C-alpha cells in the first residue's frame, strides 16, 4: 500500500473533519481522514471490501434522525450549497481543488467553462455533504461508518471519472483516433474477470523477480515447510559479528526489502557491513490451514538458531516489518519469559502496531458478527486469498489506487507505469486460516497491551519484559499503521527505544533509499507518553533513516570481524541461490 501524501494521519479516537473551504483542500480529503487498521483489512478481505461501502440501516436511520432534529443546520447547508451553485453558474465562484489533487491538474479544468463549473459543483456538493455529517454530531461508530461510505461515494462521482468530461480521455480520443476506447475496454474486461477486481496498477510482465527485483546476491541456507532462510553475501572486507535476522510481512512476499538495485533495503544493509539473514515465507494453501501465530513464531526461532550456527555468534538482532513485527514482538516476549532473551542483541519494528486501541476503525466499522463471519469464511477455505487483500488495500485509498488507474487504463487506454512497489503489491500471497484467526483475535482483544493477554508457544506475552534496545519506525502518512499507534510501541517495551518518523505512507516510508532529496525523518532524544509531545520536541533530519538505523545497530551488533568467504556451513549447506524457490509460489 503506497501513498505520497504528506498530510499526517490522525490519531483516530475521534476524527472530526471540518467543512472544507474553497481552496483549502478538497472535501474528499476532509472526508477521508479516517485510518483503516490492519485488523479491519483482514476482516474486510474475508467478507469483501464492497460490504463496507453501504452503511447499516441503523446508521442511516441515526443520520436521518439526527438531521431531523437540526432543521436549521440542514437548511443552512442547503442554502450555502444553493448560493455556491448560483455563483458557479454565473462564473463568479472561487471554489478550487487542492493544489495536490492530481485529478484536476489538467489546465482544461480551470480554462474550459463547462469543465470548471462541473468540477466546482462537485466540490461544493461534497463539501455540503461533509458539513451535514458534521452537523449530525453522530456517535463515534455511526460517524465513522458514514464518513467511510461518503468518502467512497464522493470519490466515485468525481467528474474526472466520466469519459466525456475528463479532458485526458477526450485528448486521447483525438490523439489515437478512438483506439484508446478499444484498448481501455479490453483492459476493463480483463480486470473485471480476474481478482482483484480493480484496475491493474502495473503490467504483469513489468518486472521479473530474480532479474529486476530481489537480486541482492545470496543463498538459501535453510528450507522448512514454513519458510526459506536466505543468507546474503557480504560486500565488505569486515562485517559485524552479530547477524541481523529480518522477519518480513506475512501478507506479501519478502522482496519489499529487496526491490530494484539502489532501492533495496537489504542491499544497503549489506553494503554497510551488516550480516543479513532474510526469512522468505512460503505461500500457503489449504493444506496449511492450521498454521497460526505459534507456527510462525517457531519459524522465527528456527531462523535465529540457523543464523547463530552459521555465523558462530551467540546473539542475533531482529527486525520485523508490519505483521512480521507483531510476530517478532511476541517471540521476544516468549524468549523473555523462558530466559532466552539474552540471545537477542537488539530489535527493530518497522510500521508495526502492537496497541490497537486507536489504531484503526475496527471498533466503529465492524461488530462481533462481522469478525466471526470473516474468520469462518477463511476457516472453510483454509486461507485468506491474497487477491482479496489487494482489493481491500486499493479501496482504502480509492483516488490513488482505483480512480487514478481507471482514468489511465480505461479512459486513456494506456498501460500503467512500471513501478517496483506496485509490482510487489500485486504479487499477492495467501494467509493461512489459523494466522488470519490469530491476528484478528489479538487485534480485536488488543491482547498485547495486557500481560498474559496472549501467548506465544505457550508462554504468556508480557512486552514490558522485553528489555532489549529497540528501533521503531513509522510513516507520517500511513493509513494502515498510523504513526501514533506505532509510537505507542515505545511505551510497551521495557528497554531503551529510539523512535523514527519517516516521510510518506505505509510502504513508501520503508522504501526510502538515501539520495532522495525529498526524504526526511524526525527523531527526538526522549520518548514521552504523548506522541504529539514527542513530535513537538523532535527535529528533522534530511535523508533516509536507513543509514541512521545502520549506525544505531552497529553500536549493538558486536565487533567487526573478517567477512565470511562462503555462505552456509557444514551443518547448513547452501541449497540454492537467492531469492530461493518459495518466492515464486503462486
Query: Which sequence positions are flagged as catalytic?
Result: 322
CA 353 – CA 350 distance, rounded (Å)? 9
3-state helix, strand, coil in the chain (%, to 5): 45, 15, 40
> What DSSP character marks residue 476?
T
CA dihedral 401, 266, 439, 394 (to 10 degrees): 0
For the chain, what is the radius of gyration of the CA atoms? 25
How many other CB atoms are there within 10 angstroms of residue 138's CB atom?
A: 20
What is the full DSSP assignment across 531-586? HHHHHHH-EEEES-HHHHHHHHHHTTS--EEEPPSSSS-SSS---EETT-SGGG--
Query: What is the sign of the dihedral through the CA atoms of 262, 265, 266 and 268?
Result: positive
CA 555 – CA 545 distance, rounded (Å)? 16
> What DSSP character marks residue 249?
-
Give residue for cell 525529498. 518
How many other CB atoms are there within 10 angstroms of residue 435's CB atom?
A: 28
| Contact present, 522 and 539 (Cβ < 8 Å) | yes
| Contact present, 48 and 393 (Cβ < 8 Å) | no
Query: What is the sign of the dihedral through the CA atoms of 264, 225, 387 and 350?
Result: negative
- What is the grid cell recorded at 131? 458539513
CA 128 – CA 82 distance, rounded (Å)? 10
CA 124 – CA 77 distance, rounded (Å)? 11
**DSSP tally for the chain: helices H, then strands E:** 23, 17
CB-count exposure of residue 18 (10 Å: 0-12, 13-18, 19+) = exposed
CA 476 – CA 8 distance, rounded (Å)? 5
Q: What SS3 state is found at 311?
A: helix
Distances in Å between the alpha carbon of 173 and those of 178, 189, 393? 4, 19, 31
- What is the grid cell recorded at 346? 537488539
- What is the grid cell recorded at 436? 488470519
| Contact present, 145 and 377 (Cβ < 8 Å) | no
Residue 262: which residues within 8 A CB-CB, separation 6 or more? 513, 515
How many other CB atoms are there within 10 angstroms of residue 205's CB atom?
A: 8
Give residue for cell 517496483. 420
Amino acid at each position: 500500500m503506497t501513498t505520497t501524501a504528506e498530510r499526517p494521519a490522525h490519531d483516530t479516537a475521534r476524527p472530526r473533519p471540518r467543512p472544507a473551504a474553497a481552496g483549502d483542500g478538497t472535501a474528499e480529503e476532509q472526508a477521508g481522514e479516517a485510518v483503516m487498521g490492519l485488523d479491519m483489512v483482514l476482516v474486510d478481505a474475508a467478507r469483501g471490501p464492497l460490504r463496507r461501502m453501504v452503511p447499516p440501516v441503523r446508521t442511516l436511520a441515526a443520520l436521518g434522525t439526527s438531521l431531523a432534529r437540526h432543521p436549521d443546520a440542514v437548511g443552512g447547508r442547503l442554502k450555502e450549497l444553493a448560493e455556491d451553485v448560483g455563483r458557479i453558474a454565473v462564473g463568479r465562484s472561487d471554489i478550487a481543488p487542492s493544489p495536490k489533487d492530481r485529478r484536476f491538474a489538467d489546465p482544461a479544468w480551470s480554462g474550459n467553462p463547462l469543465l470548471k463549473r462541473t468540477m466546482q459543483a462537485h466540490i461544493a456538493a461534497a463539501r455540503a455533504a461533509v458539513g451535514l455529517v458534521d452537523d449530525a454530531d453522530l456517535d463515534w461508530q455511526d460517524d465513522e461508518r458514514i464518513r467511510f461510505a461518503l468518502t467512497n461515494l464522493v470519490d466515485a462521482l468525481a467528474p474526472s471519472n466520466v469519459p466525456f468530461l475528463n479532458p485526458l480521455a477526450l485528448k486521447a480520443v483525438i490523439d489515437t483516433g478512438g483506439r484508446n476506447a478499444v484498448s481501455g475496454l479490453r483492459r476493463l474486461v480483463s480486470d473485471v474477470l480476474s481478482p482483484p477486481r480493480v484496475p491493474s496498477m502495473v503490467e504483469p510482465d513489468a518486472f521479473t523477480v530474480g532479474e529486476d527485483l530481489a537480486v541482492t546476491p545470496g543463498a538459501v541456507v535453510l528450507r522448512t515447510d514454513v519458510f526459506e532462510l536466505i543468507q546474503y553475501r557480504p560486500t565488505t572486507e569486515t562485517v559485524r559479528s552479530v547477524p541481523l535476522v529480518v522477519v518480513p510481512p506475512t501478507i506479501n512476499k519478502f522482496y519489499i526489502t529487496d526491490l530494484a538495485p539502489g532501492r533495496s533495503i537489504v542491499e544497503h544493509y549489506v553494503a554497510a557491513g551488516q550480516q543479513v539473514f532474510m526469512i522468505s515465507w512460503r505461500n500457503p494453501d489449504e493444506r496449511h490451514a492450521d498454521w497460526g501465530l505459534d507456527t510462525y513464531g517457531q519459524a522465527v526461532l528456527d531462523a535465529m538458531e540457523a543464523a547463530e550456527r552459521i555465523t558462530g555468534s551467540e546473539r542475533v538482532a531482529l527486525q520485523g516489518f508490519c505483521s512480521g513485527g507483531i510476530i517478532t514482538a511476541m517471540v521476544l516476549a516468549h524468549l523473555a519469559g523462558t530466559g532466552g532473551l539474552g540471545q537477542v542483541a537488539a530489535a527493530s519494528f518497522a510500521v508495526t502496531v502492537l496497541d490497537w486501541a486507536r489504531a484503526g476503525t475496527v471498533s466503529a466499522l465492524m461488530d462481533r458478527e462481522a469478525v466471526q463471519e470473516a474468520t469462518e469464511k477463511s476457516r472453510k477455505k483454509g486461507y485468506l486469498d491474497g487477491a482479496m487483500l489487494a482489493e481491500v488495500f486499493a479501496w482504502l485509498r480509492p483516488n490513488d489506487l482505483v480512480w487514478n488507474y481507471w482514468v489511465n487504463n480505461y479512459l486513456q487506454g494506456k498501460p500503467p507505469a512500471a513501478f517496483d512497489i506496485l509490482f510487489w503489491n500485486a504479487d499477492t500471497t495467501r494467509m493461512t486460516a489459523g494466522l488470519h484467526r490469530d491476528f484478528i483475535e489479538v487485534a480485536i482483544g488488543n491482547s498485547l497491551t495486557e500481560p498474559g493477554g496472549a501467548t506465544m508457544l505457550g508462554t504468556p506475552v508480557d512486552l514490558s519484559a522485553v528489555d532489549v534496545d529497540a528501533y521503531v519506525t513509522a510513516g507520517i502518512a500511513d493509513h494502515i499503521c498510523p504513526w501514533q499507534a506505532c509510537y505507542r510501541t515505545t511505551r510497551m517495551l521495557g528497554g531503551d527505544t529510539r523512535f523514527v518518523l519517516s516521510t510518506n505512507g505505509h510502504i513508501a516510508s520503508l522504501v526510502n533509499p538515501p539520495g532522495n532529496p525529498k526524504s526526511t525523518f524526525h527523531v527526538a532524544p526522549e520518548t514521552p507518553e504523548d506522541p504529539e509531545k514527542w513530535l513537538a520536541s523532535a527535529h528533522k533530519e534530511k535523508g533516509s533513516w536507513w543509514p541512521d538505523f545502520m549506525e544505531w545497530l552497529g553500536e549493538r551488533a558486536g565487533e567487526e570481524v573478517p567477512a565470511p568467504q562462503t555462505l552456509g556451513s557444514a551443518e547448513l549447506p547452501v541449497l540454492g541461490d537467492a531469492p530461493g524457490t518459495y518466492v515464486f509460489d503462486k
